Structure 1
Amino acid sequence: MKYKRLLLKLSGEALMGNGKYVFHSNRLQQYAEEVKKVVDMGGEVAIVIGGGNIFRGFLPKISSGNIHRIDGDYMGMLATVINGIAFQSHLENVGISTYMQTAIRMDQIAEPCRKNIAIQKLEKGNVVIFVAGLGHPYFTTDTAAVLRAIEIKADVLLKGTKVDGIYTKDPKKNKDAKKLKYLSFEMVCKMGIRVMDQTAFILGSENNLPIVIFDINKKENFKNLVSGKEIGTLVSRNKRKNV
């Protein structure tokens, strides 16, 4: 196993399946089964889920309309709680013990975020789910994922997306787009890569946290990546040549 302790970042949109529903039970079940494979291997898994399938507080049309940007961001944080509860149920249905921590206090639902307790739960085999982002507006769940990964001393942050890595161009629009297997944090910032926000990449760079962008929907990808196979795009301090 290449990565013993890891943080999986899922976007809220990833839970939508075919896009007709806020979240699709089949997609949640699929992800839960993929996480179980890693847990059964002995992996320690923490999870951060976005809330974009329910509400995206930072959209310009929201911040310039009747809902203030700050209020919209708090609504987005609450959306991550709904997603966290839904995914927690599916994880427990496949036999995984879970523990949820929230950046906004809601004692009936989850415990407040405490890194030492989160680490203890991970060491005991629980999947730890972090919800409500950082509890402050103007920060995305990408940044929250990086911070939580640093706090729990994760070996890596794995961002599950609908594409299999970072490309030189949009692969859907450009047939000559080339997939990049490796990128330094410096190059990510220079290229303006937006698969995660710049604050998240900068925080990852400053704390030497490797980040892998990969296709979460391909069966066995999560397990194979944790096992050490080169899947997706690795972003790290180390400069490696793309082939």
Structure 2
Amino acid sequence: MIEGIAAGVPFVAVPPANAGEPAALVAGWHLMDVPSSEQAMAEAVPMAGLQAWRVYFGLPLSGARLPEGGHDEVFRRAGEDAVLNVFEPVTEQAAGEFPAALAELRDRLPGASGPLGVFGGSAGAIVALEVLARGDAEITAAAVVSPVVQLAPMIAANERRFGVTYAWTERSRAVAARYDYVNRAAELTAPLLLVTGADDDVAVREPAAALHEKLGAELVAVEGMAHELPPGTPAAARVDAAFTGWFARQLRG
């Protein structure tokens, strides 16, 4: 395992099963819930046996890039305005910095010149979908777990979870509309796997089902799984198997 910084982005990279042979590259982003770091995501979804470099990027406002005040400061910002202070800046920064980080890793990781896959979980899934929609890189396949496919329902879920009321504004509604990948399905041009927890909130399950129907994406529901993906759990193992099988099929050759 390699830990480092690529174009300013912290990452963990795990080498392919057969070192020295041509390899794909699969890059992704962790959840802001568990697993909430690149190291923890690598542990939860290792995709061992895949003939690909697996690269796990750290999200902005997490890990080494926590602001002064740490998690408490992130929670404070979310309490002020979760859309404009957390979801938008995290997604925009992570998606914007991806092309340069990818280019550097293509040069640094031996043999990492094969097809590209992207993945993500929850908030990291928004990044993966946004990267796919932007088309800044040639992506062969994508996979997301506990995906935030539409931001507005997730904000409603957080209102229920934390007993708060979010004050929508014209600007925040525009951001939520931008992060609505059911409406932007035509921009998602690579094969897509959606993995949801059967016990997750309807704010995740229903938009994922809608995208599945609209796009024809593959949809897998994991029994006994809610939103989080704790490393070492049966749910994480099932997600890992789904991701591994998906990318092995889609990135072959």
Structure 1 length-normalised TM: 0.37
Structure 2 length-normalised TM: 0.36
Whose helix proportion is higher, 1 or 2?
A: 2
